[in-house]
Amino acid sequence: MAGTFRASRQWERISENWVTEDGADNLTDFKSDSRNYHLALWDPRRNGIRYLRALVYELATRLGPEDWQKIRNTKNREVGNPVEVRLDGTSVCLDYLQAALELGFIEKELDLRGGRVLEIGAGYGRLAHAMLSNYDLDSYCVIDLKNTLSLSRSYLREVLSEKQFAKMRFVQVDDVTASLDTAQFDLCVNIHSMTEMIPETVEEYLRLIDRTCTAFFVKNPVGKYIDPSLDGYYKGDEAVQEALASGPLRQQLDIHDSEAVQAAAPDFLDAYRPGTAWSPAAHGRGVPWSYFWQALYTKDSTRP
């Protein structure tokens, strides 16, 4: 019987290589190194997909019936093999989970039925897909760089119905002035892209929004951060410096400090206000990211 109580081969290996006999002598950083990553946590440097799925699953448990209906209404979400979880028979990834939350935020303040929507920087088109799947829009126009625009066009052609895709318009950044200067939209959307533009470009887009739109939804970071532990700066120091120099909000803060993020929110609301006639009808944290803020601005047509 004495031999029954012994380590498994798995834990023999852990004891030999990571939680070693000498490991108790120095507690410095032990909660952020291989000792704790074998005792209490999965190593986040090697388990990104595990933690992503855990995040999506936890967020999905908090969705309400209306959120789930928006997700179910958005067909063909499996195109592109997303990282998904499944709750009560419905699969969802982080992209479309966010889209459902963003639409819920917007529709509390704005009637989207029959709306003309402009999106600046649509990525592969997940919000356009979700919005056209849940509301009978008049039109949806995307402004983007050439290569990204090609991706979103291909994706949306694949996932939307012919009737929905016929409402799409794709405009390259070089053609914005000629194509849209006299256009009119009920809503402009920008999610996590103005923060990656040069400040002068952001200012020009805000002037375009002021001229052509009556509502503006924005979801972007409240500032910048220096924290190599998050991704190891795998793109290189040059990419880090480029990121720090972009966007209208370049002050650095602790992005995992709720008080620091809250304190930066007023600057966010000022930076993304398209003009003096605009005011935020609603604003708050941009879930799931700790340092993202979102706001829906509306324009008072009686003010200059």
User: What average pLDDT score do residues 58-81 get?
Assistant: 98
C-beta separation of 159 from 128 below 8 A? no
| Inside any domain, residue 13 | no
User: In this structure, which amino acid lies at residue 256?
Assistant: H
| Inside any domain, residue 64 | no
User: In this structure, which amino acid lies at residue 33?
Assistant: D
pLDDT digits (tens, 9 = 90+) for 171-215: 999 999 999 978 999 999 999 999 999 999 999 999 999 999 999
| Inside any domain, residue 44 | no
User: What average pLDDT score do residues 255-260 get?
Assistant: 98
pLDDT at 48: 95
pLDDT at 102: 98
| Inside any domain, residue 98 | yes
CATH, residue 256: 3.40.50.150
| Inside any domain, residue 2 | no
Distance CA 147, CA 165 (A): 19
| Inside any domain, residue 97 | yes
pLDDT at 294: 98
Residue 3 has pLDDT above 80, yes or no: no
Distance CA 203, CA 82 (A): 34
pLDDT digits (tens, 9 = 90+) for 40-66: 999 999 999 999 999 999 999 999 999
Residue 232 has pLDDT above 90, yes or no: no
pLDDT digits (tens, 9 = 90+) for 15-32: 999 999 998 899 999 999
Using the structure block, give the residue that is written with the tokens 């929507």. Answer: 117
User: Per mean pLDDT, which range of 130-139, 224-233, 243-252 is the poorest?
Assistant: 224-233
* Interior angle at CA 74, CA 71 and CA 141, nearest 5: 120
User: What average pLDDT score do residues 67-85 get?
Assistant: 98
| Inside any domain, residue 252 | yes
DSSP assignment of the chain, as one string? Answer: -GGGS---HHHHHHHHHTS-GGGGS--TTGGGSHHHHHHTS--TTT-HHHHHHHHHHHHHHT--HHHHHHHHHS--TTTT---EEEETTEEEEHHHHHHHHHHHHHHTT---TT-EEEEES-TTSHHHHHHHHHS--SEEEEEE-HHHHHHHHHHHHHHS-HHHHTTEEEEEGGGHHHHHTT--BSEEEEES-GGGS-HHHHHHHHHHHHHHBSEEEEEEESSB---TTTTTTTT-HHHHHHHHT-SS---B--TT-HHHHHHHHHHHHHHT--STTEEEEEEEE-TT-TTEEEEEEEE-TT--
What are the angstrom distances between the C-alpha of 262 and each of 123, 222, 266? 27, 9, 8
User: What average pLDDT score do residues 78-101 get?
Assistant: 98
| Inside any domain, residue 86 | no
**Of 107, 169, 163, 171, which is closest to residue 140 (Cα–Cα)?**
169
The token pair at 47 is: 């388990």
pLDDT digits (tens, 9 = 90+) for 157-170: 999 999 999 999 99
Which residues form the domain of 147? 93-299
pLDDT at 302: 64
pLDDT band of 304, cuts 50, 70, 90: low
pTM, two decimals, is 0.95
pLDDT band of 151, cuts 50, 70, 90: very high
Whole-number CA gyration radius for the chain: 23
Q: How many domains does the chain fold into?
A: 1
C-beta separation of 185 from 213 below 8 A? yes
Average pLDDT, rounded, for the chain: 95
**Of 192, 217, 140, which is closest to residue 171 (Cα–Cα)?**
140
pLDDT at 208: 97
Residue 124 has pLDDT above 70, yes or no: yes
Distance CA 137, CA 70 (A): 15
pLDDT at 213: 97
pLDDT at 200: 97
Distance CA 304, CA 292 (A): 30
pLDDT band of 230, cuts 50, 70, 90: confident
